Structure 1
Amino acid sequence: MTAPAPYLPSPSPALSQADQDALTDLYIRGTPGNTLRAYERDLLYITAWKAARFGVALDWPEAEAVALTFILDHARDLNDAADGDVARQAADALIAQGLRKTLACPAPSTLDRRIASWLAFHRMKNLASPFEAPQVKQARSKARRAAARPPTPKSQHPITRDVLEQLLATCQGSRRDCRDRALLMLGWASGGRRRSEITGLRREDVSLKEFDKEGLVWLSLLETKTTAKGETPRLVLKTRAAQALVHWIEIGQITEGPLFRPVSKADRVLKRSLSPDAVSQIVKHRLALAGLPEDFATPHGLRSGFLTQAALDGAPIQAAMRLSLHRSMAQAQKYYDDVDIAENPAADLLG
């Protein structure tokens, strides 16, 4: 029998095979899909790094010296390192395998995520992690501070209301246009949804019970990056956004299954769900049709644009967060802080 991946619980002699299978299934169901995919990528990376650096496979538990070397190798820019530098040679091998992009020092957040994954793998095996050793923890902290850099925005520009209107103006009368209009308006007006949240929606997650009378559409997300399954509050769409979504449901004849779907060149709505990458392509396409550069914004611009517009309109940050579902006030505050102080409604209090 093949041993389970390190991000799944190790076999226990105290458990029957049926109980072991149930425990593995519990871990899979209880871990967000994005986290499982990140675990797989990080496991591939650290396995390849150790093979390139030391010529051996991972150990369980891993040695503190290996953990410390991992931090040191990823805490400096290797572009200026000598060709014989073993850290550079390992990095070159990772680049050749497509696991690393450049010799530049990785972002602290990337290093933190990979270490967190490695630590989690030890926890799954009921083993102490070398990254918990005092010297290794201190080196990690120093590496984080040494490589600190201003955060890079996920979208070059926020898609504020005026930009969104330009994108919507490119949506005319085809089924694809109706889908894109509904997708963009839902993604923006429901609080700035992430790509996976948009494409994960199903017709069953949409309630139209109050649309005819109140003009409201209610959305039930299964889970988000900051909320677990069953803990995500319902979100609301109103006025134009609600009308656009209902129009798409009607014209696409969406009675069940994925809410947003591919549309063929013959303008026929397919049955499968859009992929998250398709949302990126839709945003690029609409930017180009609107006369804006394709790299003007990414789908995250819908999220940053919603919060930026909320700040421009003077909406309380707590109200915006109820829709964006930000868990951290500090994180949401960054979008409010990015608003030019001259445009801050508080500057007009005197009239």
Structure 2
Amino acid sequence: MDALERMTFNALPAQTTDDYRMRQYLQMPNQVYVSAGDYDFSYCERLSNVFGTHTGWYCCLVNMHQGWAKYATHLWYATPDNGLAALVYGPGRVTARVGKGVPVTIDEETVYPFENIINLILTLPESTRFPLELRIPVWCDEAAISLNGIRLQAEKGNRMVRIERVWNNNDKLTIEFPMRVKTTNWGRNSRTIERGPLVYALKVGEKWEKKMDPDLGEYYDIYPTTPWNYGIARAVVDDPEKNTTVTEKAISGNFYWNQSNAPFEIRLSGRKIPDWELVRGVPYQPVTKRYGEYQGEVDDTEETITLIPYGCTKLRIVAFPVVR
């Protein structure tokens, strides 16, 4: 389920335009150039990397809209002993029969993954005993669980927590998942910045150009307008909480997963790597040596770079070399 959230909140929103009319068939984590061409993918035709309506296999065009709907309809699961289990999280409502067949409605109030608090409000015709199981994500060091404002328990991550009790009408169960900035190891000993269920990516300026294919119609190329060839400072890897700054802005009513609406930014120190260039449209990953740092030429000037959630990007660097 951690993998499901990771895909849903990162890769899924990054592969469509805001109006959901165009999508990208093949997506790269480190993607700083989107254009027609031949790429070193196992399957690739020349428009697989662009944002278009008819590019790539048509089955993805008609199926891509199912992603969010299927996620939302699979937040809750029945347990074998007439209870309910919350395996993934998001705003919604579930109605089911629990215990000895008593109907319950649970309203899940949250803007997760853009906040760390989830409120579950129960509506019951009568007090009823049944089990409620909650998944604590693997990235969470310790979750706090409260009932009607009174703390019940703290639980470590990467487990299911079972709360079996008599539940009353209007009970409010609150789950708090502290989100800390962490780094994870990706390919070629690169490092990625993560916070909670979100992966963060370098904010790269975008220039969109509309193109026309005689057979497949309109599509968009996207080109970078700002530098992208950065490595992140060793200090960030050693102590990401201390050496990053997280800023948050309010989510607008008409939220879209794009640069303008990104609700979080993470700022940290990085340096340009002059030799890191595109090869046939792909920013092949420089190797960070086993002992922890890229050994090639690095700019002397340290810069502050800005990262936003992966899902809010079309161009990005996610897997960073580590520089001294």
- Give TM-score scaled by structure 2 length: 0.25
Structure holding more strand per residue: 2
The answer to which structure, 1 or 2, has the higher relative contact order (CA under 8 A, 6+ apart) is: 2
Higher helix share: 1
CA radius of gyration, larger in: 1
TM-score (norm 1): 0.24
